[in-house]
Amino acid sequence: MSRKVYVHIGAPKTGTTYLQDRLALNAKSLGEHGVHVPTGMPVHSPGMFQFRVALDLLGQDWGGEPGHAAGTWDSFVRRTKRRSGSVILSHELLAPAGAASVKRLKHDLRGSEIHVVYSARDLGRQIPAAWQETVKQGKGWGYRRFLDKLTNDRIWFYQAFDLPAVLSTWSAGLPPEQVHVVTVPHHEVIAERPDTLWLRFCDAFGIDPAWAPADSWSVNPSMGMAETALVRKLNRRVKRTARRLGGADELVHRLLAERQLASRPSQPVRLAPRMHPWALEQAERWIEWVEESGVHVVGDLDELRPRPVPEKEWADPDRVSPREQLEAALDALSAMTDEAARRSDPDQQLVRRVKSQVRRMRQQQ
């Protein structure tokens, strides 16, 4: 039985939310062409199942009740070994995996041709997006502190973004043609051809785009400066520490940060000009590693070089005016009020959630 396993390891903030949702929406049609996106029980989406697969492989337990990920890695292995053609595993948690986890993956999937796919984006765009992501997930730290932790303490996001370190671990023992680097295009490229990144992913996975016709509207949007400042303060006020599925935390994360506040017109968070030389130095190191390794590149390596932000166009995200924060807070309060009015009947709320899940499952069939 001939089988390829494509392990997409991130990096985070490189279109992974869109990719994973589009794979899930087209799981049935892809399967008809020998490209499989495994899931667990019917009530679980492929995305949730693969999130738990990644957690279990890494020995982590986050985002749900204790033990919610236990056994999912072994389940994924069993399902994979029953398939021929191609199998895709995709989650950005995998990027900074340690050598032991990577070795286990390759051992448990022996007999398969393993391909590693890593999507990379320049740090000029990545770093602001990463800071906002930590705030959405419960952090209350400021931008300056985040930058200091990123560059000095090598926090999780740095480990996930450090292309040479990530791919040195994941590519061990693999021929370079089985390691694929997908670069994230700049805005003007996407404006001209919105599906550019999707087509690049298809190239890396060996997918004919015609096999996945259903598009996705799922994205992980960024907030502006005022909105991020508001959520930072809200995190500290309600003592958010780590994101769990459901409850008040889900309201802050999904309703406010990703829907209401992300849609407001606001000044964007940009890379601090003082950080540009460091970010450019990292990019040159990445590009040198890729060129010397001979791995397969989909896109343009020049897209990994950050673009400088002129001093006059940069504003400090830690110094947002009270008026801007007040306007964001009023919009947030309005959204929360509307949501509270809709949730007057808990039983009906549960019914709506179940019906929504059933509709999504039917779309994937």
DSSP labels, 91-117 = -GGGTT--HHHHHHHHHHTTTSEEEEE
| Full-model pTM | 0.89
Rounded CA gap, 183 and 303, in Å?
A: 7
Share of the chain above pLDDT 70, in %: 88
For position 365, what pLDDT does the model report?
47
pLDDT higher than 70, residue 325:
yes
Written as six digits, the tokens of 301 are 């390596």
CATH number assigned to the domain comprising residue 30: 3.40.50.300
Written as six digits, the tokens of 303 are 């897209």
Mean pLDDT of 315-333: 91
pLDDT higher than 70, residue 357:
no
pLDDT higher than 80, residue 12:
yes
Q: DSSP assignment, residue 345?
A: -
Q: DSSP assignment, residue 224?
A: B
Q: What pLDDT, in 10s, does the model give residues 236-263?
A: 888 766 555 455 666 777 677 777 788 7
For position 62, what pLDDT does the model report?
77
Residues in CB range of 278: below 8 A, 6 or more apart: 151
Can you spell out the DSSP letters for 121-145? --HHHHHHHHHHHHHHTT----HHH
Lowest pLDDT segment from 69-83, 102-116, 167-181: 69-83
Total structural domains in the chain? 1
Residues in CB range of 262: below 8 A, 6 or more apart: 221, 222, 223, 227
Written as six digits, the tokens of 247 are 């409850």
Q: Contact 231/243 with Cβ under 8 angstroms?
A: no
Q: How confident is the model at residue 332 (pLDDT cuts 50, 70, 90)?
A: confident
pLDDT higher than 90, residue 35:
yes
Range of the domain at 268: 3-364
For position 202, what pLDDT does the model report?
98
- 250 φ, ψ to 5°? -65, -35
